[in-house]
A and B are shown apart, each in its own frame.
Chain A
């Protein structure tokens, strides 16, 4: 085999040398005298530029896709509002605006809405009741969550609060597992049906501004790609370039972000239903604490129809300093004795990762500027408090609120930051900012070392002690056992009291 490569190369070189002695193309007879297909000498003598033969014939616009050159050219069509990003927030904003009779363009960088998304998670649908009544009859739902569990684990133990109810398996339902790629496409189709113009495979590269600095539209990566608009709604995701360009983020510290890493495992539907005790379209959502070793974070496990999603969320600085790889941590979670029986035999179908804004209230940016609103993950509207781990519902609610505020500002003729201030008022009067404000201390508490490692150990040891039958010793007293575990864990009473107070203020 090793001898073959040089011999082939030698043949190619010989062919090239032979071609070099052939007449150049200029010596060819006129085309009119040629038969329909004429065999001509090889083109090895042609210069490299000849392989781009038609550039000279092309008009300038076709030769260059430089958006900066096209910045001064007018766009063919104007819109009142441009919504950037066809995720849940963007589609909700476009839907609301289109229903209000506003000319709105929904710009998506993927070839279709949802193209770049990870397979999904849980959608809490109450937020859709007002936007799309009866949504559950047509939404692309995998399973209705009827079993919700919170599990704390140590390397060898697990303690689960496992709740299930049949009420969540009936209309109007509570939560559902969905694939985001399906959900996003469905929501965007609703916006399009309402009149929004969906523009895919187009990346927004920046904002355009007027003489006073007011946002006047967006710049895209297409030739002649400036899209003017009176209001821009930035729903461009966790790493929002538009919100950053507008200077809305003051404190984008890395500790406010986590990396969500997920595996989708294929399992026969009947196996999933047997393992999780489900029937029909019932589904399970398990949130896990203490499963990420020395990296602050958590884990999750969701059931779909014939797949399960298992993964971890990892705080960025902790992940970086640990030297661990995310796939190691997922492997550790899957090997845990409480999780392994649930995932055994699953065939890996997809592995994906995505940043999540988990800083809560403390990382919220300014939500509006002159001619600009931000919503969804772009506005860091994702809530991770241990008990609740939600984002899509906040994205939809904030997108709809942004749409309403933009429509109102357009109607009043004031699209400055003051004119768009109704957006924040709408969020403050809704569950969105009410939740974030009340739970502002929860993210820090949940990601603390004590909650991540020590309290799960204390809880598991305490339960193990209580449930261990140690005859002929008498049964342990609960308070005494608790004090003993606290002493063993070296958690100081004042730290416990402080955490309890923080939890009471956050969740109480």
Chain B
């Protein structure tokens, strides 16, 4: 392999959680944990880029020892090397599902040193914000392209990428190494590993990278400004069409509430079954359903 190396970042996350219907406690089973669809797509794109460029894929994950299984699956699919990065012990929130993005990126950046292009899933399943690729790009001094739905390899180290925009629009970018690309989950299906590769990967070595010293200031990443509000996760509200903004306030309120809209007032009738059926039929005729 003489082409540029391609890195793929994957996160070990619970794919299925159980919520206790009595207590509301959330439990994740390590047996049903693994890579999200977006990370699997990232691996597939990474493998395609490496094949087109004659390079090889290095896959890395910052997580617990259980992530080794995930990395071995990546090796079976075609990755050449797998590295599991340790997260700094004792740092706040250092859990597979809760480690701060900058710490995860710092750990991954050590593994991806010298890699031309890193492909990531756009965000992780466990309420990820999609910020790890940005932190990683900052650490690596690389360009970043996010929200990608298709990649085309050009000359080694150059990728043409299609990016999703709002309202169904697209833009096409040309990205040169070093770069961090984050792709959406439905853009590619990871190829099925062959049986011999699966058997070989069972005993394949997963490299281990010690935790970096967490020092975001030294890395050029500023501390977040001001007080940070902590609270329950609230998804952003959907933008719904409202009344005509050119209308007056009164007209907009009327449009929203439906007041003064012509309608049949509700009626309560108490009848025996036969007359009740006749009454229902008569009303349906009035509304035009039985004409």
Q: How far is the CB of B38 from chain A (nearest CB, A)?
A: 17
Could you tell me the distance between the alpha carbons of A197 and B196 in the complex, rounded to whole angstroms?
A: 13
Asked whether, in the complex, the Cβ of B22 is within 8 Å of the Cβ of A224, the reply is: no
Task: Known A31-B176, A36-B179, A111-B32; judge A59-B195 contact (CB<8 A).
Answer: no
Asked whether, in the complex, the Cβ of A349 is within 8 Å of the Cβ of B155, the reply is: no
Could you tell me the distance between the alpha carbons of A44 and B162 in the complex, rounded to whole angstroms?
A: 10
Asked whether, in the complex, the Cβ of B160 is within 8 Å of the Cβ of A32, the reply is: no
Asked whether, in the complex, the Cβ of A53 is within 8 Å of the Cβ of B195, the reply is: no
Is A493 part of the binding interface, using a Cβ–Cβ cutoff of 8 Å? no
Could you tell me the distance between the alpha carbons of A347 and B51 in the complex, rounded to whole angstroms?
A: 51
Counting chain B residues whose Cβ lies within 8 A of the other chain, the interface size class is 35 or more
Asked whether, in the complex, the Cβ of B21 is within 8 Å of the Cβ of A349, the reply is: yes
Q: How far is the CB of A79 from chain B (nearest CB, A)?
A: 10
Could you tell me the distance between the alpha carbons of A234 and B112 in the complex, rounded to whole angstroms?
A: 45
Asked whether, in the complex, the Cβ of A57 is within 8 Å of the Cβ of B145, the reply is: no
Could you tell me the distance between the alpha carbons of A53 and B32 in the complex, rounded to whole angstroms?
A: 32
Asked whether, in the complex, the Cβ of A1 is within 8 Å of the Cβ of B168, the reply is: no
Point out the residues of chain B lying under 8 angstroms from A8, CB to CB: 167-168
Could you tell me the distance between the alpha carbons of A62 and B47 in the complex, rounded to whole angstroms?
A: 10
Asked whether, in the complex, the Cβ of A37 is within 8 Å of the Cβ of B32, the reply is: no
Task: Known A34-B176, A54-B51; judge A226-B195 contact (CB<8 A).
Answer: yes
Point out the residues of chain A lying under 8 angstroms from B285, CB to CB: none
Asked whether, in the complex, the Cβ of B171 is within 8 Å of the Cβ of A32, the reply is: no
Q: How far is the CB of B254 from chain A (nearest CB, A)?
A: 17
Is A274 part of the binding interface, using a Cβ–Cβ cutoff of 8 Å? no
Point out the residues of chain A lying under 8 angstroms from B150, CB to CB: 43, 50-51, 53
Is A223 part of the binding interface, using a Cβ–Cβ cutoff of 8 Å? yes
Could you tell me the distance between the alpha carbons of A222 and B151 in the complex, rounded to whole angstroms?
A: 26
Asked whether, in the complex, the Cβ of B51 is within 8 Å of the Cβ of A31, the reply is: no
Is B219 part of the binding interface, using a Cβ–Cβ cutoff of 8 Å? no
Q: How far is the CB of B32 from chain A (nearest CB, A)?
A: 7
Asked whether, in the complex, the Cβ of B192 is within 8 Å of the Cβ of A40, the reply is: no
Is B78 part of the binding interface, using a Cβ–Cβ cutoff of 8 Å? yes
Point out the residues of chain B lying under 8 angstroms from A479, CB to CB: none
- Residues of A in contact with B (beta carbons under 8 Å apart): 1, 3-4, 8, 11-12, 15, 19, 25, 28, 31-32, 34-44, 50-51, 53-54, 57-59, 61-62, 65, 70, 75-77, 111-112, 114-115, 185, 197, 199, 202, 220-227, 266-268, 306, 347-349
Point out the residues of chain B lying under 8 angstroms from A61, CB to CB: 194
Q: Please, what's the 1-or-0 string for B200-239, where 1 marks a CB less than 8 Å from any CB in chain A?
A: 1010000000000000000000000000000000000000
Those of B104-156 within 8 Å (CB) of chain A: 143-145, 150-155
Q: How far is the CB of A192 from chain B (nearest CB, A)?
A: 10
Q: What residue of chain A has the Cβ atom nearest to residue B176's Cβ? A: A36
Could you tell me the distance between the alpha carbons of A11 and B179 in the complex, rounded to whole angstroms?
A: 32
Point out the residues of chain A lying under 8 angstroms from B272, CB to CB: none
Task: Known A8-B168, A43-B150, A65-B192; judge A36-B143 contact (CB<8 A).
Answer: yes
Point out the residues of chain A lying under 8 angstroms from B155, CB to CB: 31-32
Task: Known A1-B240, A111-B32, A112-B31; judge A54-B48 contact (CB<8 A).
Answer: yes
Task: Known A58-B51, A112-B32; judge A37-B143 contact (CB<8 A).
Answer: yes
Q: How far is the CB of A336 from chain B (nearest CB, A)?
A: 23
Could you tell me the distance between the alpha carbons of A77 and B203 in the complex, rounded to whole angstroms?
A: 13
Nearest 6 CB-CB pairs, A to B? Answer: A76-B196, A347-B21, A54-B48, A31-B158, A12-B168, A40-B172
Could you tell me the distance between the alpha carbons of A112 and B153 in the complex, rounded to whole angstroms?
A: 36
Could you tell me the distance between the alpha carbons of A39 and B145 in the complex, rounded to whole angstroms?
A: 11
Asked whether, in the complex, the Cβ of A227 is within 8 Å of the Cβ of B240, the reply is: no
Task: Known A37-B174, A44-B170, A111-B32; judge A54-B195 contact (CB<8 A).
Answer: no
Query: What are 15 inter-chain pairs, A to B, with CB distance below 8 A?
Result: A25-B172, A36-B143, A37-B143, A39-B172, A39-B173, A53-B152, A57-B48, A58-B48, A70-B194, A76-B200, A111-B32, A112-B32, A202-B198, A223-B194, A266-B20
Point out the residues of chain B lying under 8 angstroms from A224, CB to CB: 194-197
Could you tell me the distance between the alpha carbons of A37 and B34 in the complex, rounded to whole angstroms?
A: 32
Is B41 part of the binding interface, using a Cβ–Cβ cutoff of 8 Å? no
Q: What residue of chain B has the Cβ atom nearest to residue A12's Cβ? A: B168
Could you tell me the distance between the alpha carbons of A225 and B31 in the complex, rounded to whole angstroms?
A: 24
Asked whether, in the complex, the Cβ of A223 is within 8 Å of the Cβ of B174, the reply is: no
Q: What residue of chain B has the Cβ atom nearest to residue A38's Cβ? A: B174
Task: Known A36-B176, A43-B172, A197-B199; judge A225-B194 contact (CB<8 A).
Answer: yes
Could you tell me the distance between the alpha carbons of A227 and B154 in the complex, rounded to whole angstroms?
A: 39
Asked whether, in the complex, the Cβ of A43 is within 8 Å of the Cβ of B170, the reply is: yes
Could you tell me the distance between the alpha carbons of A54 and B192 in the complex, rounded to whole angstroms?
A: 16
Task: Known A31-B158, A37-B174; judge A111-B51 contact (CB<8 A).
Answer: no
Q: What residue of chain A has the Cβ atom nearest to residue B170's Cβ? A: A42
Asked whether, in the complex, the Cβ of B172 is within 8 Å of the Cβ of A53, the reply is: no
Tell me which of B22, B153, B172, B241 contacts A54 (CB under 8 A): B153
Tell me which of A25, A57, A62, A222 contacts B153 (CB under 8 A): A57
Tell me which of A15, A32, A35, A39 contacts B169 (CB under 8 A): A15
Additional A-B contact list (7), CB under 8 Å, known A42-B169, A57-B48, A58-B48:
A1-B240, A8-B167, A25-B160, A37-B145, A53-B48, A199-B195, A266-B22
Q: What residue of chain B has the Cβ atom nearest to residue A265's Cβ? A: B21
Q: What residue of chain A has the Cβ atom nearest to residue B53's Cβ? A: A57
Q: What residue of chain A has the Cβ atom nearest to residue B158's Cβ? A: A31
- Central interface residue in B145, B154, B191, B198, by most chain A CB within 10 Å: B198
Q: What residue of chain A has the Cβ atom nearest to residue B18's Cβ? A: A349
Q: How far is the CB of B35 from chain A (nearest CB, A)?
A: 11
Point out the residues of chain B lying under 8 angstroms from A39, CB to CB: 171-173
Could you tell me the distance between the alpha carbons of A266 and B24 in the complex, rounded to whole angstroms?
A: 12
Could you tell me the distance between the alpha carbons of A199 and B202 in the complex, rounded to whole angstroms?
A: 9
Point out the residues of chain A lying under 8 angstroms from B179, CB to CB: 36-37
Asked whether, in the complex, the Cβ of A40 is within 8 Å of the Cβ of B160, the reply is: yes
Is B175 part of the binding interface, using a Cβ–Cβ cutoff of 8 Å? yes
Could you tell me the distance between the alpha carbons of A75 and B22 in the complex, rounded to whole angstroms?
A: 50
Is B52 part of the binding interface, using a Cβ–Cβ cutoff of 8 Å? yes
Could you tell me the distance between the alpha carbons of A65 and B195 in the complex, rounded to whole angstroms?
A: 11
Asked whether, in the complex, the Cβ of B162 is within 8 Å of the Cβ of A43, the reply is: yes
Could you tell me the distance between the alpha carbons of A221 and B198 in the complex, rounded to whole angstroms?
A: 12
Point out the residues of chain A lying under 8 angstroms from B97, CB to CB: none
Asked whether, in the complex, the Cβ of A40 is within 8 Å of the Cβ of B174, the reply is: yes
Asked whether, in the complex, the Cβ of B34 is within 8 Å of the Cβ of A111, the reply is: yes
Asked whether, in the complex, the Cβ of B31 is within 8 Å of the Cβ of A12, the reply is: no
Q: How far is the CB of B74 from chain A (nearest CB, A)?
A: 14
Q: What residue of chain B has the Cβ atom nearest to residue A19's Cβ? A: B170
Q: What residue of chain A has the Cβ atom nearest to residue B76's Cβ? A: A222
Q: How far is the CB of B239 from chain A (nearest CB, A)?
A: 10
Could you tell me the distance between the alpha carbons of A38 and B170 in the complex, rounded to whole angstroms?
A: 14
